[in-house]
């Protein structure tokens, strides 16, 4: 069994979406002063590796804290799209013959190699509108990418977000370590921080390869 952490570590001065406040991690209580360690974090809801809920873009969209936990666990499928700058519907159709049994689709662009560099926020790979429409026709729980966004740089319409979120598909952005996944199919845990009215949340994302539950149905 192989377990891989697909999440970036949150820290002060980490990369954030342009125009967004950087997180602040402070250590006001320390063992050598008061006998224990306790940290203080201040950050926006879409910091680091994070999950977008429908409420992020849609009026009256559901928030993460109102979702049943089974929305955050399931079978994942990895799709290598490193040669694609615009990930189109024809490419997806040709690469994924069958979505049956797939809960989460992860797009491996290789863009996380630029994490921490200015180029990470420029000319990154995105989904075409047609690809988003095609993917949204399947009952996926979520789709993830190792880039800053599913929409093009400078977008103000966020059309890809709205297409996918409109079908209740969670969006997981800023993934990392996708190259460490050795199997095309695996189990995925997508565990967003639970807080009230969460339009999105920092998320620990973990892949599990080589494990099958004793029962065919996971409850």
Q: pLDDT tens string for the chain (219 positions)?
A: 999 999 999 999 999 998 999 999 999 999 999 999 999 999 999 999 999 999 999 999 999 999 999 999 999 999 999 999 999 999 999 998 889 999 999 999 999 999 999 999 999 999 999 999 999 999 999 999 999 999 999 899 999 999 999 999 999 999 999 999 999 899 999 999 999 999 999 999 999 999 887 765 555
Does 33 map to a domain? Answer: no
Residue 101 exposed, middle or buried by CB count within 10 Å (0-12, 13-18, 19+): exposed
Judged by DSSP in three states, 202 sits in: strand
- For 193, residues 6+ apart whose C-beta sits below 8 A from its C-beta are 201, 202, 203
Does 61 map to a domain? Answer: yes
Q: What is the CATH number of the domain that holds 196?
A: 3.50.30.50
- For 1, residues 6+ apart whose C-beta sits below 8 A from its C-beta are 208, 209, 210, 211
Does 74 map to a domain? Answer: yes
Q: What is the domain range of residue 105?
A: 2-11+44-209
Strand residues in the chain grouped as ranges (E): 2-5, 24-29, 38-42, 50-52, 73-80, 86-87, 104-108, 126-127, 142-145, 170-173, 185-192, 200-209
How much is the pTM?
A: 0.95
3-state helix, strand, coil in the chain (%, to 5): 20, 30, 50
Does 218 map to a domain? Answer: no
Provide the number of structural domains found in the chain.
1
| Cα–Cα distance measured from residue 179 to residue 95, given in angstroms and rounded to the nearest whole number | 17
């Amino acid at each position: 069994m192989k377990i891989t952490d697909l999440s970036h570590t949150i820290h002060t001065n980490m990369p954030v979406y342009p125009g967004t406040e950087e997180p602040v991690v402070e250590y006001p209580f320390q063992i050598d002063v008061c006998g224990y360690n306790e940290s203080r974090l201040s950050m926006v809801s879409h910091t680091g590796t994070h999950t977008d809920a429908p409420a992020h873009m849609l009026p009256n969209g559901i928030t993460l804290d109102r979702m049943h936990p089974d929305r955050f666990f399931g079978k994942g499928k990895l799709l290598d799209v490193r040669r694609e700058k615009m990930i189109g519907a024809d490419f997806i159709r040709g690469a994924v013959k069958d979505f049956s049994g797939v809960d989460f689709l992860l797009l491996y662009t290789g863009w996380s190699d630029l994490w921490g560099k200015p180029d990470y926020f420029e000319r990154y790979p995105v989904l075409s509108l047609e690809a988003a429409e095609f993917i949204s026709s399947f009952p996926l729980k979520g789709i993830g990418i190792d880039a800053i966004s599913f929409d093009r740089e400078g977008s103000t319409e966020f059309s890809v977000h709205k297409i996918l979120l409109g079908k209740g598909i969670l969006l997981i952005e800023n993934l990392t370590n996708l190259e460490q996944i050795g199997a095309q199919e695996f189990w995925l845990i997508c565990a967003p921080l639970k807080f009230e009215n969460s339009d999105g949340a920092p998320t620990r994302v973990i892949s599990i390869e080589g494990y099958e539950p004793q029962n065919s149905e996971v409850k």
